[in-house]
Amino acid sequence: MTEKIAVLVDSGCDVPQTVIASHSNLAVVALNVRQNGVDYLDGVDLTPDEFYAHLTPDNLPQTASPSPAVVAAHLQDLFAAGYTKILALAISGSLSATYQGMRLAAQEFKAGDVMVLDTKSAGIGSGLLVTYASNLITAGREFPDVIGSVQHAIQHSGVWLYIPSLTYLQAGGRIGKVAGTLGSVLNIKPLLSVDDNGEIIAVAKVRSEKKAVQKLIDIALATAGPQATIAVAHGANFELLHAVTAQIEATGRRVEFTGSVSPAIGVHTGPGLIGIAVQNP
């Protein structure tokens, strides 16, 4: 029997909306966001625009991963729809409990029918890996081949971030106090990435936004192979999104996707973020 493969991802992966719309086998399980005393499902009843309009460091929202039971329900729905194999992709297990929740949910199904992978990334970095997996499935690749190809891509892809203020990362416990201090003294602006363990690290320190953005572009493009897919994401910073996209395309590289950082990620990064993701096959 021909395999019918679905992809399940969490909303923190920031899959481009055009990709979600064009892949009927792609399902998203929402993370939970609590803002101003109200509980929301990320990307379902809370849009990025609504979220950033009310975001302040004095009233920091909270996030929670979907429970294994919720994930299992999504998996069951996909099997009920006729899918025979499911690839589940999650944002870094070092940044969120979603990966572990997906693994627990997968144990409720026949061994080998659900494969859960840690993207070792977040936001648009994870989103490009999801896009790659979906394209492989659409091209007719078999389940083991899709898994192996995505695992290879995880090891050779990355995401790089410029965040004007590290207040939100520090408040959420996603980055050490030392890095938070560096971000506030002498206008030093660390550029961040996610390492091979899926943890946030500083990759450079620059003294102005203009230099930080140029350095960000240089670092990201240096990793992009000839077949790389490039995307740019922003957190309520359309002006810088357009500027960075134009700068990248002025080098002769194409920006395949642009989009907003989801509320579940924006809780920890705050407004103003620019992220560049590079996915090498």
- H/E element, 250: helix 238-250
Tell me what pLDDT residue 177 has. Answer: 46
Q: Which pLDDT score is estimated for 172?
A: 63
Nearest CA to 201 out of 95, 118, 97, 100 is that of 95
Which tokens sit at 270? 């705050």
Q: Do 5-155 and 158-279 come out as alike in CATH topology?
A: no
**Whether the predicted pLDDT of 201 surpasses 70:** yes
Mean of per-residue pLDDT scores for the chain = 92
Taking the C-alpha atoms of residue 109 and residue 91, their distance in angstroms, rounded to an integer, is 22
Whether 95 shows a pLDDT value over 70: the answer reads yes
Least trusted range by pLDDT, from 14-28, 107-121, 154-168: 154-168
Q: Thinking of the domain 158-279, which architecture would CATH place it in? A: 2-Layer Sandwich (3.30)
Class of domain 5-155: alpha beta
Neighbours of 70 (CB within 10 A): 16
pLDDT digits 0-9 by tens, 10-59 = 999 999 999 999 999 999 999 999 998 899 999 999 999 999 998 887 88
Which pLDDT does position 105 carry in this prediction?
98
Segment 205-215, tens digit of pLDDT? 888 889 999 99
End-to-end CA distance of the chain: 28
Other beta carbons within 10 angstroms of residue 129's beta carbon come to 27
pLDDT confidence of residue 168 = 82
pTM, rounded to two decimals: 0.93
Kindly state the average pLDDT of the residues 218-235.
97
What is the mean predicted confidence (pLDDT) over 77-83?
A: 98
- pLDDT tens profile 171-194: 766 565 445 555 555 567 778 999
* β partners of residue 39: 34
Cα Rg of the chain (Å, integer) = 18
Quick one: DSSP state of residue 59? G
Which of 247, 2, 244 minimizes the C-alpha distance to 124? 244
pLDDT at 170: 75
Contacts of 153 (CB under 8 A, 6+ apart): 129, 132, 279, 280, 281
**Structural element, H or E, at residue 48:** helix 48-53
- What's the confidence (pLDDT) of residue 202? 86
Query: What distance in Å separates the CA atoms of residue 159 and residue 223, rounded to the nearest whole number?
Result: 10
β-pair partners for 194: 200
Residue extents of the structural domains in the chain: 5-155, 158-279
Residue 107 has pLDDT above 70, yes or no: yes
